[in-house]
């Protein structure tokens, strides 16, 4: 079990209502061990206390036979001797009961002081004895105390010091149950300190990193007039300029968190000093809120948003419409019937994908103009190396060169097998020669190409559909959307008891008119297209009406998705 935290710098999800602290069951855990290494040491004692709403519900404690010698230094520290654990049950007998104790309530969070130590031992025990590790969220009272207590309030943040500071009736003594009991009082003391700062949910508690600033506290009133409804919110300054755009299932709840200790993003804390108002935009469905957020960010480019501000800066790979086509990295899609690959947010990724195509097909990389025909010129080094068909000196005829261009077009818009086969063969050969860095570069080129090809093929298929109506069950009814040429044109909820035929007729009649256009995303950004596509292909979504044919190539880039997933996992681990 590992402690997971909401990463900073990431746009908060729409699914952010949170679990109220009063409804959260906390299992406060403490383990005594034979050492500090979860790999080499073993557990000697377990103590746990279950609390909810400030009340102790029950306790769990037992000595554990570690199966190894208890070091003398550990005995001096904890008082646990070899004879005490000799007749205790081994961990393989204790662990099922402990896991059942943790899993008894679905709204459980595990609490520990210096949680990585205790959860690390618990995780190691689960792996050692073949049990799945617990998945409950973790609260670390040590980290919380460091964030909440100001300098000079306590001489340190040790459990003994904090227990005394918060007036715990039990003194920690390096015995599991007593230490867990003391941690309960420390937890309650910290929660009481955080309540005036606006921390009222488990998610907010776990995200606390420092107290709210004076500016945050002074701006809490901005959430008072915001409705408790799903939608989009826009923070503005004194001049009405947009500062930040976000979305939520509960607008008031989400806006309030920006002015509490749960908000730990430095730039958002800075924004509290200049924010003057908040504009809520209530949305009918989750998809509408997600799309509106993207559109507002792209339109207003609020300075405190990091994602999605500049969709116009996307990069595409284009196979040009010349007598002798070449691959070009461009910023816009034109109505020229040329195949486009992408989009890519990174220029580096776009160039990698272009290199992947050039490695498989001998297309020219020069910028000579051959239409109208010009005199022949000396071939470049690439032509001499056999990496270009060399139309410059007439080595290949226009018909021969066109065959390479058509093969590249097929790889971009249909079957990418030629690119995949070329690169997998090179990766295998380089790996056999222990040239792993070069093999990794070939892998990165291939995955960049496949990601761009898969994205453009998916979006092109969606953009070709003039009219789609789909629905899925939601909290208030059936969330229904109209999509035209890849753009969300309308969204509403079909409430129980409503005439479905009249509802659909009205929704379609009032939906935005969307004309067709060129390229994979003619009338929306790629991000919106991906959102709509993910919603349409979700297993819970039901197609109601569909005009046109929704098809993708049989042997498309999606057939090689395991390569992009594997490469993404490898890159994330490095």
Distance of CA 432 to the CA centre of its chain: 35
Rounded CA separation 488/485 (Å): 9
Report CA-CA distances (Å) from 311 to 19, 126, 318, 490, 516. 35, 46, 18, 22, 20
Active site residue 129: no
Q: What is the rounded distance in angstroms from the CA atom of residue 79 to the CA atom of residue 173?
A: 9
| Alpha carbon separation from 300 to 226, 293, 311, 371 (Å, rounded) | 21, 11, 12, 43
Are 155 and 161 within 8 A, CB to CB? yes
> Other C-beta atoms within 10 Å of 308: how many?
19
In this structure, what token pair is assigned to residue 496?
A: 């129980």
Which residues are CB-contacts of 541 (< 8 A; sequence separation ≥ 6)? Answer: 470, 471, 472, 535
Token pair of 519 as six digits: 């390229």
Assess whether the previous peptide bond of 343 is cis (omega < 30° from 0).
Answer: yes
Q: For residue 561, give the 3-state DSSP assignment.
A: helix
Token pair of 271 as six digits: 């924004």
3-class secondary structure, 186: helix
Contact (CB, 8 A) for 206 and 139: yes
CB atoms near residue 397 (< 10 Å): 11
CA atoms within 13 A on the CB side of 381: 0
Q: Residue 366 is encoded by which pair of tokens?
A: 């020069």
Task: Return the closest-CA partner of residue 490 out of 298, 296, 292.
Answer: 292
Going by DSSP bridges, is the β-strand pair 25-33/108-112 parallel, antiparallel, or unpaired? Answer: parallel
| Residue in 129, 174, 188, 351 annotated catalytic | 174
What is the DSSP secondary-structure string of 31-88?
Answer: EEESSS-TTT--EEEEEEEEEETTEEEEEEEEE-B-SSPPPHHHHHHH---HHHHHTS
Instruction: For residue 449, give both structure tokens.
Output: 């190409």
Catalytic (active-site) positions: 174
């Amino acid at each position: 079990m590992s402690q997971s935290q909401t990463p900073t710098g990431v746009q908060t999800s729409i699914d952010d209502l949170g679990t109220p602290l009063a409804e959260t069951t906390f299992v406060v855990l403490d383990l005594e061990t034979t050492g500090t290494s979860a790999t080499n040491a073993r557990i000697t004692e377990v103590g746990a206390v279950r609390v909810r709403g400030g009340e102790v519900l029950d306790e769990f404690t037992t000595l554990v036979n570690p199966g190894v010698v208890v070091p003398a230094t550990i005995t001096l520290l904890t008082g646990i001797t070899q004879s005490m654990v000799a007749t205790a049950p081994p961990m393989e007998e204790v662990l099922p009961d402990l896991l059942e104790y943790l899993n008894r309530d679905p709204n459980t969070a595990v609490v520990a002081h210096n949680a990585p130590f205790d959860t690390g031992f618990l995780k190691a025990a689960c792996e050692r004895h073949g049990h799945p590790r617990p998945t409950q969220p973790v609260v670390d009272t040590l980290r919380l105390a460091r964030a909440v207590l100001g300098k000079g309030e306590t001489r340190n943040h040790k459990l003994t010091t904090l227990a005394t500071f918060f007036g715990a009736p039990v003194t920690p003594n390096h015995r599991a149950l007593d230490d867990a009991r003391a941690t309960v009082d420390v937890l309650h003391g910290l929660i009481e300190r955080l309540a005036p700062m606006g921390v009222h949910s488990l998610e907010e508690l776990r995200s606390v990193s420092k107290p709210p600033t004076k500016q945050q506290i002074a701006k809490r009133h901005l959430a008072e007039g915001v409705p408790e409804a799903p939608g989009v919110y826009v923070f503005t300054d004194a001049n009405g300029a947009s500062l930040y755009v976000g979305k939520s299932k509960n607008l008031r709840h989400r806006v309030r968190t920006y002015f509490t200790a749960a908000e730990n993003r430095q730039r958002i804390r800075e924004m509290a000093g200049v924010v003057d108002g908040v504009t809520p935009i209530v949305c009918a469905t989750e998809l509408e809120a997600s799309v509106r957020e993207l559109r507002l960010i792209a339109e207003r480019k609020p300075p405190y948003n990091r994602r999605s501000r500049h969709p116009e800066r996307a990069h595409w790979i284009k196979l040009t419409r010349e007598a002798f086509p070449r691959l070009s990295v461009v910023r816009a899609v034109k109505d020229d019937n040329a195949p486009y690959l992408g989009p890519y947010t990174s220029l580096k990724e776009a160039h990698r994908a272009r290199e992947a195509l050039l490695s498989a097909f001998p297309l020219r990389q020069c910028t000579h103009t051959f239409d109208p025909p010009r005199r022949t010129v000396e071939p470049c080094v690439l032509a001499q190396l056999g990496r270009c068909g060399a139309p410059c000196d007439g080595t290949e005829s226009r018909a021969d060169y066109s065959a390479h261009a058509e093969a590249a077009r097929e790889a971009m818009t249909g079957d990418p097998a030629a690119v995949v086969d070329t690169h997998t063969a090179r990766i295998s050969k380089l790996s056999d020669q222990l040239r792993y860095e070069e093999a990794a570069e070939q892998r990165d080129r291939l995955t960049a190409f496949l990601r761009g090809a898969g994205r453009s093929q998916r979006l092109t298929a969606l953009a070709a559909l003039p009219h789609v109506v789909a629905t899925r069950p939601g909290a208030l009814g059936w969330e229904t959307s109209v999509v035209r040429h890849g753009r969300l044109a309308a969204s509403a909820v079909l409430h129980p008891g409503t005439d479905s035929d009249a509802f659909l007729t009205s929704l379609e009649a009032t939906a935005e008119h969307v004309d067709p256009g060129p390229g994979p995303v003619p009338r929306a950004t790629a991000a919106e297209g991906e959102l709509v596509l993910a919603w349409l292909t979700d297993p819970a979504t039901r197609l109601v009406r569909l005009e046109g044919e929704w098809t993708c190539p049989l042997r498309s880039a999606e057939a090689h998705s395991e390569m992009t997933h594997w490469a993404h996992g490898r890159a994330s681990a490095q």
